Amino acid sequence: MDAKGLASSSSSSSSSLRRVSVRAHSSGGRNAALYAGGDEFHMSKDPSYDKEMMKFVGGLMWPNLELPWGVLAASTAVAVGVALMHLHAPAVLEYLMPLKFTQSFITMPLGFLMVFRINQAYGRWWEARGSVGQIMTRSMVLAEIGSTGELPQTSALRVASLCRALLVAIEAEFSIGGNPEDKWTKLASRVSAEDLAALKADKGNTVNAVIYMMREEFSRAASGIDAAATKMTAAATLLEVHTFLTACRRIFTTPMPISYTAQFRFVLVIYLAALPFTLLGQVGPYFTVPINILISMALFGLDALSGGIINPFGTDSDDLPMNRYIKAADDNVANVQAKIKERSAN
């Protein structure tokens, strides 16, 4: 279908998506639900989240983050040296005191760089979460479209199985360090032997191959009074899946520029090196060291925080739990698949 045809079907496909979402919400799922208000994928709260949060708070967050302990030790050594010079060699310290103006000059640039880095990191994380949720939702919508009666039972079941295959392929594409053979084992339990052989024979991306197979199945098998609307809705939904997949792939394959990270950390080190000279005149030699340690850990903690969430796909505690999302969506599609079989039996 060309772009003009898809644009003309946007209003009808939107209403169809909403209608299908309402029906999916009424049918329900064990782990997730679909809401028509925003076509957003929701699931039950992860019970491990509270445990991670308690560990996060109880450990003062730093054991969960990769902090540059060597740099922190060097910053503390500088603070100790400044305090000792104030007590035992004030004449030497007097020559070094102009360094405190360095800290004043770079405070604003450092703040700008840090805010930009954290905003970019969290923006990537949140965009990935929204895109993954939309993909999960539309996998359920596609299965529901296939079960509306516009497709023969065999085609409806094939569409549902391909939806489950799509979820497996997405999980495999965005996993890090997984066994590639696990994907084919899971696919073998979800699609027919013929479809599995076709996917293995395809040398391209498995996710794209599954989407193409679903598009072909809708185009070939849709019939009846609403066949045209069904085809347009399915095509529009598949296009949206591909759009959200593109966003996830962009985030997954595009790191933060190394030059930006290097420059930010360079400015941060200069700031912390000059900080004890400023603290000395404000809090005295005895509080300079502990306050310098706290500020250093806070700033490097923010840097580690942004570095931890800048790529939301992985197995770290801050990464998106793709396996839970996939399982919840797969359970919902399997539920639709069971209803199709039950309807045909009756």
The pLDDT tens digits for 236-250 are 999 999 999 999 999
pLDDT, mean of residues 72-99? 87
Cα 160 from Cα 175, distance rounded (Å): 23
Question: Which pLDDT does position 317 carry in this prediction?
Answer: 79
Question: Which pLDDT does position 163 carry in this prediction?
Answer: 94
Mean pLDDT of the chain: 79
Percent composition of the chain: helix, strand, coil (DSSP 3-state, to 5)? 80, 0, 20
Q: Is the pLDDT of residue 40 over 60?
A: no
The pLDDT tens digits for 111-166 are 999 999 999 999 999 999 999 999 999 999 999 887 777 788 888 899 999 999 99
CA distances from 196 to 106, 162, 201, 326 (A): 59, 10, 9, 19
- Other C-beta atoms lying within 10 Å of the C-beta of residue 54: 10
Q: Which comes out higher in pLDDT, residue 289 or 61?
A: 289
The pLDDT tens digits for 313-329 are 988 878 899 989 999 99
Q: Is the pLDDT of residue 307 over 60?
A: yes
What are the tokens at 81?
Answer: 């040296």
Q: Which residue is listed with tokens 């020559």?
A: 95
Among 78-87, 152-161, 175-184, 294-303, the minimum mean pLDDT is found in 175-184
Q: Which comes out higher in pLDDT, residue 2 or 91?
A: 91
Q: Over pLDDT 70: what percentage of the chain? A: 78
Q: Over pLDDT 90: what percentage of the chain? A: 36
pLDDT, mean of residues 335-344? 84
The answer to whether the beta carbons of residues 200 and 184 sit under 8 Å apart is yes
Question: Which pLDDT does position 247 carry in this prediction?
Answer: 95
The answer to whether the beta carbons of residues 232 and 13 sit under 8 Å apart is yes
In this prediction, residue 36 has a pLDDT band, given cuts at 50, 70 and 90, of very low
Cα 292 from Cα 68, distance rounded (Å): 15
Degrees to nearest 5, angle at CA 93 with 84 and 299: 70
What are the tokens at 174?
Answer: 């965005």
- Judge residue 295's burial from the number of C-beta atoms within 10 Å of its C-beta, 0-12 exposed, 13-18 middle, 19 or more buried: middle
